[in-house]
């Protein structure tokens, strides 16, 4: 059995990791860490886990936990892990981090976009970016995994095959993405109150959203050259989901079959990336509660552009279930173990 600790276990992502791992046949959840709820029974906080997880929350430190578990999931805000993590901790256990602390390789870029100093830049090069379908081999042996964000997972996987094959102009990509309210976390914020988000939709973080450099960096690796793109997120009144609509300039004349062949080349053997039938647009409801990403495209012969579309559940493939998928790769389990959920409707 793999002994697991979860720091930030009472946030949405942390709670999803705990829920998923209860169904994993090779896991023992040893620590559920929450400073705010220390001493409280986990099932009293999350009633869906009543008589399923019979443990109390604790406030044990990362350092003290490291010698007693095999892996720690850190579902914590930006800045926590890079302020606590040292190489000697990685000698004792592996880390799967849900924040952006180790996603961006360039420390100056991280500090610019997140507005905080990075306290362990020496570990940045060791960290592996946890897009399983792209970095599977590197994920197997890493001690430090940077689990991607929800917008980034959807945006990157939707555009990756065409960037990799140089089918689109690399600096022509414009991404508009919609997110459910749970993407903002479980903390109490006025902007996320029911009356503030219901029956309305809005753009936010326009030109400044922190996922922008993460998407650019990963698509630059795919293309083999620096990529600059436009990313605009929107908040919509639903619990879960990400929908990305991406427009790019094609480099030449392509037929549907040409592009479909490229997507099938990269995702044809992937369990959790579904390339939809022709002219079927992805919908968030068809991925809800699952680790699936649905992608598709449409060529606009009139403009010479291609419209790329992707949908996923921001708390699952955009966070928790992708973290468990990466956990499975790291420890040699079937990737489907604990996360082979069928999307739920309604």
d(CA 46, CA 50): 7
Instruction: Kindly tell me the burial class for residue 259, based on how many C-beta atoms sit within 10 Å of its own C-beta (0-12, 13-18, 19 or more).
Output: buried
- Contact between residue 210 and residue 113 where contact means Cβ atoms under 8 Å apart: yes
pLDDT in tens, 88-102: 999 999 999 999 999
Q: In the prediction, which pLDDT does 162 show?
A: 98
- Contact between residue 62 and residue 5 where contact means Cβ atoms under 8 Å apart: no
pLDDT in tens, 108-125: 999 999 999 999 999 999
Q: What is the pTM of this model?
A: 0.96
**Domain range 151-312, its CATH number among 3.40.430.10, 3.40.30.10, 3.30.360.10, 3.40.190.10:** 3.30.360.10
First to last CA, the chain: 35
Active-site residue (options: 57, 93, 150, 154):
150
Listed as own residue / partner, the contacts of 272-277 with beta carbons closer than 8 Å and 24 or more positions apart are 272/132, 272/133, 272/317, 272/325, 272/335, 273/133, 273/157
Q: In the prediction, which pLDDT does 183 show?
A: 87
Provide the CATH number for the domain formed by 2-148+318-330 in this structure: 3.40.50.720
- Contact between residue 97 and residue 74 where contact means Cβ atoms under 8 Å apart: yes
281 catalytic, yes or no? no
What would the mean pLDDT of 246-272 be, rounded to a whole number?
98
- Contact between residue 12 and residue 21 where contact means Cβ atoms under 8 Å apart: no
Query: Does position 126 have pLDDT exceeding 90, yes or no?
Result: yes
Strand residues in the chain grouped as ranges (E): 2-7, 27-33, 71-74, 94-97, 128-129, 144-146, 174-179, 202-203, 230-235, 242-249, 273-275, 293-300, 305-312
What would the mean pLDDT of 278-296 be, rounded to a whole number?
98
Q: In the prediction, which pLDDT does 185 show?
A: 83
pLDDT in tens, 292-333: 999 999 999 999 999 999 999 999 999 999 999 999 999 999
Give the chain's length: 346
Q: Could you state, in order of their start, the residue ranges of all structural domains in the chain?
A: 2-148+318-330, 151-312
Q: β-pairing, 273-275 with 293-300?
A: parallel
Q: In the prediction, which pLDDT does 191 show?
A: 82
DSSP code for 139: H
pLDDT in tens, 183-235: 888 887 888 888 899 999 999 999 999 999 999 999 999 999 999 999 999 99
d(CA 114, CA 118): 10
Q: In the prediction, which pLDDT does 188 show?
A: 74
Q: In the prediction, which pLDDT does 81 show?
A: 97
Q: In the prediction, which pLDDT does 192 show?
A: 82
Q: In the prediction, which pLDDT does 199 show?
A: 94
Could you give the count of Cα atoms lying within 13 Å of 295 in the half-sphere of its Cβ?
A: 26
Query: Does position 34 have pLDDT exceeding 90, yes or no?
Result: yes
Q: In the prediction, which pLDDT does 184 show?
A: 83
Weakest-pLDDT range from 138-142, 182-186, 275-279, 280-284? 182-186
Confidence of residue 276 (pLDDT cuts 50, 70, 90): very high
Q: Please give the helix or strand (H or E) that residue 282 lies within, else none.
A: none
């Amino acid at each position: 059995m793999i002994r697991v600790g979860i720091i930030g276990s009472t946030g949405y992502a942390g709670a999803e990791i705990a829920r998923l791992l209860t169904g994993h046949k090779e896991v023992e959840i040893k620590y559920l860490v929450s400073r705010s709820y220390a001493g409280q029974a986990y099932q009293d906080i999350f009633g869906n886990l009543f008589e399923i997880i019979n443990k109390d929350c604790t406030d044990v430190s990362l350092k003290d936990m490291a010698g007693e578990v095999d892996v720690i999931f850190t579902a914590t805000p930006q800045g926590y892990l890079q302020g606590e993590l040292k190489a000697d901790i990685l000698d004792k256990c592996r880390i799967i981090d849900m924040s952006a602390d180790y996603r961006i390789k360039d420390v100056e870029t991280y500090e610019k976009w997140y507005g905080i100093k990075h306290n362990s830049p020496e570990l940045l090069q060791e960290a592996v970016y946890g897009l399983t379908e792209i970095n599977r081999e590197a994920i197997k042996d890493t001690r430090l995994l940077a689990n991607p964000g929800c917008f980034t997972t959807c945006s990157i996987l939707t555009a990756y095959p065409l960037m990799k094959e140089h089918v689109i102009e690399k600096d022509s990509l414009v991404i508009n993405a919609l997110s459910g309210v749970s993407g903002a976390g479980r903390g109490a914020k006025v902007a996320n109150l029911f009356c503030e988000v219901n029956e309305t939709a809005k753009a936010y973080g326009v030109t400044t959203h922190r996922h922008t450099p993460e998407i650019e960096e990963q698509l630059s690796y795919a293309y083999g050259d620096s990529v600059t793109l436009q990313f605009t997120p929107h908040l919509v009144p639903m619990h879960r989901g990400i929908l990305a609509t991406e427009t790019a300039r094609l480099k030449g004349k392509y037929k549907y079959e040409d592009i479909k062949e490229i997507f099938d080349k990269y995702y044809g053997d992937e369990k959790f990336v579904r390339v939809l039938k022709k002219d079927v647009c992805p919908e968030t409801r068809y991925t809800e509660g699952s680790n699936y990403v649905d992608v598709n495209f449409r060529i606009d012969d009139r403009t010479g552009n291609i419209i790329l579309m992707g949908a996923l559940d921001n708390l699952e493939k955009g966070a928790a279930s992708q973290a468990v998928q990466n956990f499975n790769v790291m420890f040699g389990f079937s990737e489907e173990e604990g996360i082979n959920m069928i999307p739920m409707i309604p």
